[in-house]
Amino acid sequence: MIDEADPPPEAARFFLGRQPILDRQGAIHGYELLFRSCGDNAAHFVDEHHATVQVIARAFSELGIQSVVGDALGFINLDSRLLSCDIIDMLPAERIVLELLETTRFEAEAVTCCRLLFEKGYQLALDDVTALNPAYYPILPYVSYVKIDLLDMQEDALRKLVRHFRPMKLKLLAEKVETRQQCRLCEELGFELFQGYHFARPEILSGRSIDPAQRQMLRLSQLLSGDASDSRIEAVFKEDSKLTYNLLRLVNSVAMGVPTHINSVHHAMLLLGRRQLQRWLALLLFAHRDGAKFPDPLAIMAANRGRLMELLTRETGASAEEAEQTFMTGVISLLEAVLEIPMSRIVDELKLAAPIRAALLDHDGYAGQLLTLIECIERCDTTHLNEQLSALGLTLEQLTTAEIASMNWANAIGQER
């Protein structure tokens, strides 16, 4: 049902995850692409890494890397068996970073392969570094990134690793950064890049008051979902010229795909309708947090969640209203990180429909099940992902196709036509 190119045949056995890699300004530098085998037939692949690269290469050649990572870099895992694999040549060197797994044995042949890839213009990353290891010293001349795994890492050990690598002029990338406190420590130590979902973790502040601009958007969302007149809605928009400008910039983005340029709120309501305006307003909330640049990683993550949930809902033959509810559920599910208030207060402020409330507060109902599925994808939790797909009556092929479509759509948020 999704009107996008079909995924490669092998992709039916895989799902695609991507984890954002941010720079010190909070902008997206790249995504680590995570293809995972899934389902009872996963054992069919004797060489899972080889199958993974085949899927990635075909996805890039048939769908285009733009669909998966937008304008950012794609980081892909390789082990020693794949270093000499010809299929790597299908991957665009200027858009790809090849991650050398911690299991790679850097013997003479592997070092030669690293040198040849370096000479072809590929950037290499040393992955999952947790301690100093002389075994990887021979390939350091060909490495651009060092990814240091923060999981279970003590601060003194982390500082020692940074002191070791800093003189080598390599890009230091902290991975598994799951809290803002970890991110602040890594910034202090001089890391340039950060991978993990720290930016999506809410810091709920007791007694937090909502920013006036955000309050205005919440008010408009209520008006759009209620029975307020068009003239009243336009009048509220006119109270904030910056909000109107940002909304029009968003609805005129590549993602919207409208055939004509929209030049006023009145024009937008006539052409798009209130429901479409409400979804764009929800996304615009992510641009009004402190220091945010639109589109920022949290906005793209929210857009991807919403669009993926909407597309999967359509696959089940549900109504347009149900599809809209699942879209809004996906977007709003990350608003705690923006507003820094509890979700219970957010759903009250927005006066959300009962199915959306149940999904956001308790993961109940169809929308709640879909939200659980999306969270499994983000965690690469294959066990529970299979359970959720089965409960929802969806196939892995439907999921893969919807993922590519939703990533492509989310990447286009904010891109001007």
Domain with CATH 1.10.3210.10 in the chain: 212-411
pLDDT value, residue 416: 56
Let me know how many helices (H) and strands (E) the chain has, helices first: 18, 8
Q: pLDDT tens, 95-151? A: 999 999 887 888 899 899 999 999 999 999 999 999 888 888 999 999 999 999 998
What is the separation of C-alpha 262 from the centre of its chain, rounded to a whole number of angstroms? 28
Look-up of token digits 């984890």: 19
| Confidence grade of residue 47 (pLDDT, cut at 50, 70, 90) | low
Is it the case that residue 361 has pLDDT exceeding 50? Answer: yes
- List C-alpha distances in Å: 32 to 4, 78, 114, 376: 23, 12, 19, 16
Kindly report, residue by residue over 295-336, the tens digit of the pLDDT: 588 889 999 999 999 999 999 989 989 999 999 999 999 999
Which residue ranges does the chain devote to CATH 3.20.20.450?
9-200
Tell me the average pLDDT across 187-213: 83
Q: How confident is the model at residue 210 (pLDDT cuts 50, 70, 90)?
A: confident
Question: What's the pTM?
Answer: 0.85
User: What's the CATH fold of domain 212-411?
Assistant: Hypothetical protein af1432 (1.10.3210)
pLDDT digits (tens, 9 = 90+) for 172-181: 999 999 888 9
Architecture field, domain 9-200: Alpha-Beta Barrel (3.20)
Query: Could you give the residue ranges of the DSSP H alpha helices within 24-173?
Result: 48-63, 65-69, 108-119, 155-165
Which pLDDT score is estimated for 3? 47
Pairing status of strand 171-175 against strand 143-149: parallel
Q: Kindly state the percentage of the chain with pLDDT values over 90.
A: 40
Quickly count: other Cβ atoms within 10 Å of residue 61's Cβ. 13
